[in-house]
Structure 1
Amino acid sequence: MTLSKEQIQTLLKVVANSSDDSLDCDRCFGYVAQFVETKLAGMGLCESMKLVQSHLENCPCCKDEFEALLAAISEVDEDK
């Protein structure tokens, strides 16, 4: 299997941004709803939310889930 230049760059970014206290996808999903509410409220992020943000920046699957939830909640807020 040959990786494209883009795939290699993505892998390098993930490795460079990983740390011992990084979240895995299961743990990240547990925080995504809270992360969305915090972002929409314009509140600062506590340390655990920074870990979620870091995971979302490096995991396309979780990022897609976050963006879908953010868009859905934003639409509901706009309808009020």
Structure 2
Amino acid sequence: MMEREMFKRWIHNIFTTQDEEIDCGQLFEALSQFVDMEVSGKEAARLLPHVRQHLEQCPECAELYQALLEIVRLEAEDRLPEVDELMEAILGRD
């Protein structure tokens, strides 16, 4: 089953390849702008299509994007935990 999913993703990537693409380093440089645009209601995918395309093709960058998006949304809603709370949750310490 996993091989089938990998094959489908590979075929998808072949057919969605563009003449101009960005690599992971370039995505990293543009990611915070992309996330800020999304959180503020702007059409980030339309305005930065190369970022959206890279996120669709790169699972590692997509995971980073999801994490950053969640943090920015929590911060925008004033629900971001304090550093001490985060450390306790991550490390399990008092």
Establish whether TM, by shorter chain, passes 0.5.
yes
Q: What's the offset of the Cα at 1:45?
A: 3.6
TM-score between both structures, scaled by the size of structure 2: 0.74
Once residues 72 and 32 of structure 2 are traced to their aligned partners in structure 1, the CA distance between those partners, rounded to angstroms, is 10
Structure ranking higher on relative contact order (CA contacts 8 Å, 6+ apart): 1
Once residues 55 and 43 of structure 2 are traced to their aligned partners in structure 1, the CA distance between those partners, rounded to angstroms, is 17
Please tell me whether residue 69 in structure 1 is matched to residue 68 in structure 2: yes
Native 8 Å contact 2:45 2:51 kept in 1: no
Q: 2:85 maps to what in 1? A: none
Shifted more, 41-50 versus 70-79: the winner is 41-50
Structure 2, unmatched stretches of 5+, are: 80-94
Q: 1:78 maps to what in 2? A: 77
Higher radius of gyration, 1 or 2: 2
Once residues 31 and 52 of structure 2 are traced to their aligned partners in structure 1, the CA distance between those partners, rounded to angstroms, is 9
Aligned positions of 1:1-80 closer than 5 A:
4-45=3-44, 49-79=48-78
Give the secondary-structure state (helix, strand or coil) at the position aligned to 2:21: coil
1:22 maps to amino acid: E
Q: Percent identity?
A: 27
Q: Deviations over 1:25-79 (max 9, x none)?
A: 1111110110000001111348661110111111111110111000011111111
For the aligned residues, what is the CA RMSD?
1.9
Q: What count of residue pairs does the alignment treat as equivalent?
A: 78
Structure 1, unmatched stretches of 5+, are: none
Once residues 47 and 55 of structure 2 are traced to their aligned partners in structure 1, the CA distance between those partners, rounded to angstroms, is 13
1:43 maps to amino acid: K
Moved over 6 A (4+): none
1:53 maps to amino acid: R
2:36 maps to amino acid: E
